[in-house]
Structure 1
Amino acid sequence: MRRLPRILKAVRRTALQAVPTVIGIVILNFFLLRLTPGDAADVLAGEAGAATVETLSALKAKFGLDLPVLQQLGGYLHNLAHFSLGVSPRYNQPVAALIAARLPNTLSLMGSALALALLLGITLGAIMASFAGRPADRALSVLSLLFYSIPSFWIGLMFIVLFSVKLGWLPSGGAETIGAGLTGWGAFVDRARYQVLPALSLALFYVAIYARLTRGDMLEVKAQDHVRTARAKGLPPLAVTRDHVLRNALIPVTTMAGIHLAGLMGGAVVVETVFSWPGLGRLAYEAVMGRDFHVLLGILLLSSLLVVVVNAAVDILQAWLDPRIEVR
């Protein structure tokens, strides 16, 4: 109960900062996207193959692409004020419906990747810190450096070659077995099999970061007075590491995890394309290729809101991990 006012203070601060931040992001992204040559009408006309000047003009007028840029921005902000993301010219569907259909898959992939990255990274970092300077530490340091250096799309392709083509253990793409009609636990296991490779491909880069960060922070915390005092009291080494060393070393890791959320969304574009995963990353790629700016703006807006919410959650988590942290 004593921590409740601190949590409420963090939520209030985040809400006050979120509104101008999100509005600024929307306006900036709107003008940046307008610098891109072409628009959805040009792409649709090009795909038709026999579009005339009149047809192209009609398409631009239908989607409001012939209006001045400021007028288009005003219309878009007016739609946002009425909780509407507009209509996609390419799919001829509300943008909100398109995003809602893909969002669960992307959140599932990002959540699995972040959980794997934190679990593996913190575990490897704790092992490296416990055996600092020994062969195990050196071997894991080299392994983490490889994870950090290799692009996620190349790792994904190698996973497909090894686990799908050679061994046949896991599927190479998609989100579920088409036409299987599975329900309950069977459906969960089936989706989990499709998610293993893309989640692992997306997570390995961050595993390396969290492992190195955990190792350095644990070595720093081990030298502090309160850890020496805990050892002097006769506490078991495992209890000292868990309650006094690792808990304090997790604060920078949780901060980086919140910062990396936007990077996970960006990495999902590549990974979802490699594994044909039907999520927001693949939708964003298709929107870029089709110059569907309404869909892109909707995805960018959702991404910014997601980052704001996660950063607020990180502030609350840090206050819980270390009561000395004051939420301002």
Structure 2
Amino acid sequence: MSLILYLLKRLLYTLPLMAGAIAIIFFLIHAAPGDPVDYLIGEAGASQEVVDRLRAQMGLDRPVIVQFGIYAFEVLRGNLGYSVVSGAPVLTLILERFPATLLLMATQYTLAAIIGITLGVVSARRPNSATDNVITFFSLASFAIPVFWLGQMMILIFGYYLDWFPIQGMTNLRKGYTGFAYVLDVAYHLTLPALTLAIYNVGLVLRLTRSSVIQVTGQDYIKVARAKGLSERTVLFKHALRNALLPVVTVIGVEIPGLIAGAVLAETVFGWPGLGRLTLDAINARDYPLLMGMFLFICLFVILANLVVDLLYAALDPRIRYS
């Protein structure tokens, strides 16, 4: 099977997955307590006539199964609806916030992968040594620390006491930077949230890399490489690491939903204007269209990200073919 046919087949598999996601997300959100009309009215109160009119405008006066049929039909047309609070198109709101979340996730996982893989190889080079024990302790500690607590500690230490980094937002709105200065300003604000998530995720990557490298180094082709007189660094990073990365790549694909959940917490702590903050605001406001659009977008992103992970297998291991 060629790569193109494989991609088409995998994309066809996403159709029933997305159909099931639409149904599950819709009924779960509507089963949750709370009402967007109550949020809009607030504590001021309103007559029953006004409440009924608002519910009719939002379509909440119809049976749930009818609401689901209308929503599913609109989604097939590419219409995710309009936010109850802002009145803006849901897709527009998501696409405006997605670049910030993508930047945070890509940066933090790049850092986690680089640090985790490097420390994993160093740890596997001399198992049970003092270096291995220190790295193992670090990996366990990073994996056990909650994201929200770590983020608050980063803010207190590096933002408040040392005053090295900003603690909120994505840019300095007062300065109004443009061009390359704007890029540096974004990177400056990105440092703390990206490091927080990277420290949280580095433990799993490190442990998997260590165990995979130790397992691979016992193979015959590693012994042959050493017998040829190759340096230990070349044997580990060029020969052993490539095959040892397959389990790591697999786990990265499986952990993508967890990464998004961690991003929600980090964005909330650091005031990062991404999908996490948007999701939290939608939950607080019981904004049904925005919540459903957010979850559908995240489902599609997870499916496509796992497809990319599958394609990486062939790049890492030439023995893998899509046939």
Q: TM-score, normalised by structure 1?
A: 0.95
- The counterpart of 2:135, out of the listed 133, 136, 140, is 140
Indicate conservation of the 8 Å contact 1:121/1:214, yes or no. Answer: yes
Amino acid in structure 2 at the alignment position of 1:49: A
| Distance (whole Å) between structure 2 residues aligned to residue 8 and residue 284 of structure 1 | 35
Which 4+ runs in 1 deviate beyond 3 A? none
Identity %: 40
Match of residue 299, structure 2, among 291, 295, 304: 304
Q: Structure 1 residue 77 and structure 2 residue 72: aligned?
A: yes
Q: Which residue of 2 aligns with 1:39?
A: 35
- The whole-number CA distance in structure 2 between the counterparts of 1:147 and 1:32 is 33
Q: CA deviation at 1:269?
A: 1.4
Give me the whole-angstrom Cα distance separating, in 1, the residues matched to 2:221 and 2:259. 36
Task: Supply the AA of the counterpart residue of 2:113.
Answer: L
Matched position secondary structure for 2:39:
helix
Report what 1:191 is aligned to.
186
State how far apart, in whole Å, the 2-side matches of 1:16 and 1:82 are: 18
Q: Structure 2 CA distance, aligned partners of 1:42 and 1:14? A: 42
Unaligned residue ranges in structure 1 (runs of 5+): none
Deviates more, 1:123-132 or 1:154-163: 123-132
1:188-267 alignment runs, 5 A limit: 188-267=183-262
Aligned to 2:273: 278
Confirm or deny: 8 A CA contact 1:315 1:327 kept in the other structure: no
Change in Cα spacing, 1:9 to 1:134, as seen in structure 2 (3 Å) is farther
Give, in angstroms, the shift of residue 211 of structure 1. 0.2
Contact 1:14-1:308 at 8 Å conserved across structures: no
Name the aligned partner's letter for residue 251 of structure 1.
Answer: L
Letter in 1 for 2:182: A
Count of aligned pairs between the two proteins: 323
Contact 1:261–1:307 under 8 Å retained in 2:
yes
1:150 & 1:103 partners in 2: Cα distance?
26
- 2:283 maps to which residue? 288
Match of 1:62 in 2: 57
Aligned-residue Cα RMSD (Å) equals 1.3
| Partner Cα separation in structure 1 for residue 83 and residue 279 of structure 2 | 12
Q: What is the rounded CA distance, in whole Å, between the counterparts of 2:61 and 2:112 in structure 1? A: 46
Report the alpha carbon displacement of residue 38 of structure 1 after superposing the two structures with TM.
2.2
**TM-score, structure 2 length as denominator?**
0.97
Once the two structures are overlaid, the 10-residue window that deviates more, 215-224 or 16-25, is 16-25
In structure 2, the residue matched to 1:155 is 150
Report what 1:164 is aligned to.
Answer: 159
The residue identity in structure 2 corresponding to 1:255 is T
User: Alpha-carbon deviation of 1:326?
Assistant: 3.4
Deviation at 1:141, TM superposition (A): 0.6
In the TM superposition, residue 261 of structure 1 has moved relative to its aligned partner by 1.3
Tell me, yes or no, if structure 1 residue 21 matches structure 2 residue 17. yes
- Whole-angstrom CA distance in 2 between matches of 1:246 and 1:6: 27
The residue number in structure 2 matching 1:7 is 3
Distance in structure 2 (CA, Å) of the matches to 1:310 and 1:92: 30
